[in-house]
């Protein structure tokens, strides 16, 4: 028996751990695993793939990125952000089916976020047996308590904040650190809290500059002359607008620049020397943490088990320390956002962190 695997969308630390888990579990069953390159594009005839044998993938566990390559563009786009679902062109789906038929692939594992899993569902509706594995550093997929890649991204943020605190304190400055997080502020929240930020700005909690100024001035009055601000790239400016680097028709806008904008306003309103730093793709690169290697491996093995059980249309899901599964349809219905009144936000407020709202 042969199964296929592809990953699609932005890369994410831990993708190779999923491949490692899938190949390990499949080879025990005597199954062969075909890895498609560059997301769904690898399905287009004549097919861009390689056979993933256990000895060929030895040593991939600590590697960042994905040995299969990936793309967040191409002919299989089914959803842009949290926007409307688009139908992948029937002739593209037919061509993908033809490749899978020729290679005698009995099931396909799709490792992806919201958009890629929506494409996976459309392939499933067209008769291709699909099993999903959730992937996103943003941790914004409902129906799984955590996705691999998130912990690695948060570790990068914390490491950066540890370094930035020393220079910021030495100069008695304000530092604004922009982190990833398009629709959800999980990276900013966890990275900011664990890295000792004083102000955290999220897409889910509207902020205003008056509250930020007051927080910085209150700190000054207490003799705390430096302030660390963490802002998610997807936080909205007080006028409700996103700050973008590039507006891309038909795909997600490239976010970026909010940190610089906020730093300029803070410098102006407080008179404090203010610097900004954008962590960008550092958060997506590098070796996965042990937690992400574990999650990825467990997700990969579970995906093979779902195929064994014939649970097509299901996605691997992590809940209460247990790896189970949910219907892909349910998983892509809505994003998992930070709840403004949740325990973790309350915890942050309890230790004096401001969300720039009061």
Show which residues are catalytic. Answer: 138
Among 284, 293, 314, 336, binds ligand F6P (CB under 6 A): 284
Question: For the window 226-255, what string marks contact with ligand F6P as x by the rule CB under 6 A?
Answer: -------x--------------------xx
Q: Where are the beta strands (DSSP E) in 206-330?
A: 227-232, 244-246, 254-255, 274-278, 314-319, 322-327
Element (H, E) at 106: strand 105-112
User: What's the Cα-to-Cα distance from 6 to each of 171, 217, 231, 262, 276, rounded to whole Å?
Assistant: 48, 51, 32, 39, 37
Per-residue mark of binding to ligand F6P, 51-90 (x: CB under 6 A): ---------------------x------------------
For ligand F6P, the closer of residues 119 and 136 by Cβ is 136
Per CB under 6 A, does 293 bind ligand F6P?
A: no
Site string for ligand F6P, 207-226 (x = CB under 6 A): --------------------
* Stretch of 94-102, 134-142, 156-164, 263-271 contacting ligand F6P, by CB under 6 A: 134-142
Q: Is 182 in the site for ligand F6P (CB under 6 A)?
A: yes
Q: Within a 13 Å sphere around the CA of 293, how many CA atoms are in the beta-carbon half?
A: 11
Nearer to ligand F6P, 28 or 254 (CB): 254
Residue located via tokens 């299901």: 314
- From the CB of 66, what's the least distance to ligand F6P, in Å? 13
Residue 47 within binding range of ligand F6P, rule CB under 6 A: no
The two tokens of residue 156 are: 């990068």
Binder of ligand F6P out of 93, 137, 164, 228 (CB under 6 A): 137
**Closer CB to ligand F6P, residue 254 or residue 358?**
254
Residue 27 in the binding site for ligand F6P (CB under 6 A): no
Report the distance separating Cα 317 and Cα 47, nearest Å.
Answer: 29
CB of 250 to ligand F6P, least distance (A): 14
Would you give the DSSP letter of residue 234? T
Closer to ligand F6P by Cβ: residue 176 or 306: 176
Q: State the pairing for strand pair 199-201/314-319.
A: unpaired
Number of helical (H) and strand (E) elements in the chain, helices listed first: 10, 13
Residue 140 beta carbon to ligand F6P: minimum distance, rounded to whole angstroms: 8
Q: Report yes or no: 5 and 111 within 8 Å, Cβ to Cβ.
A: yes
Interface region with ligand F6P, contact rule CB under 6 A, candidates 28-36, 91-99, 133-141, 257-265: 133-141
Assigned token pair, 204: 């889910």
Contact 286, 15 (CB under 8 A): no
Strands 227-232 and 174-179: parallel
**109: cis peptide before it, omega within 30°?**
no
> With contacts defined by CB under 6 A, how many residues of the chain interact with ligand F6P?
12
C-alpha 274/C-alpha 231 separation (Å) is 14
Binding site for ligand F6P (CB under 6 A): 10, 72, 136-138, 180-182, 233, 254-255, 284
């Amino acid at each position: 028996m042969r199964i296929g695997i592809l990953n699609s969308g932005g890369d994410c630390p831990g993708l190779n751990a999923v491949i490692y888990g899938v190949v390990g579990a499949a080879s025990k069953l005597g199954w062969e695993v075909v890895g498609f390159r560059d997301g769904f594009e690898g399905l287009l005839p004549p097919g861009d793939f390689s056979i993933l044998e256990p000895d060929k993938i030895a040593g991939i566990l600590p590697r960042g990125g994905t040995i299969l390559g990936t793309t967040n563009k191409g002919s299989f786009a089914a959803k842009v952000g949290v926007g409307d679902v688009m139908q992948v062109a029937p002739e593209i789906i037919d061509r993908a089916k033809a490749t899978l038929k020729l290679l005698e692939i009995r099931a396909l594992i799709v490792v992806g976020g919201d958009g890629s899993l929506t494409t996976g569902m459309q392939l499933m509706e067209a008769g291709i047996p699909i099993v999903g594995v959730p992937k996103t550093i943003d941790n914004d997929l409902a129906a799984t308590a955590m996705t691999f890649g998130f912990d690695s991204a948060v570790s990068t943020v914390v490491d950066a904040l540890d370094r930035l605190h020393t220079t910021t304190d030495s100069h008695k400055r304000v530092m604004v650190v922009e982190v990833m997080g398009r629709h959800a502020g999980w990276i900013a929240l966890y990275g900011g809290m664990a890295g000792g930020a004083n102000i955290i700005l999220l897409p889910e909690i509207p902020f205003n500059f008056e509250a930020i100024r007051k927080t910085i001035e209150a700190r000054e009055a207490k003799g705390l002359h430096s302030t660390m601000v963490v802002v998610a790239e997807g936080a909205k400016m007080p006028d409700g607008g996103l700050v973008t680097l590039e507006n891309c028709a038909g795909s997600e806008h490239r976010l970026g620049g909010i940190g610089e904008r906020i730093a300029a306003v803070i410098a102006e309103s407080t008179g404090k020397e203010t610097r900004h730093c954008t962590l960008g793709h550092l958060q997506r690169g590098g070796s996965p943490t042990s937690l992400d290697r574990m999650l990825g491996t467990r997700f990969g093995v579970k995906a093979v088990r779902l195929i064994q059980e014939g649970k097509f249309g299901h996605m691997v899901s992590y809940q209460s320390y247990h790896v189970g599964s949910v219907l892909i349809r349910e998983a892509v219905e809505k994003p998992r956002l930070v709840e403004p009144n949740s325990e973790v936000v309350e915890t942050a407020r309890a230790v004096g962190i401001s969300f720039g709202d009061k």
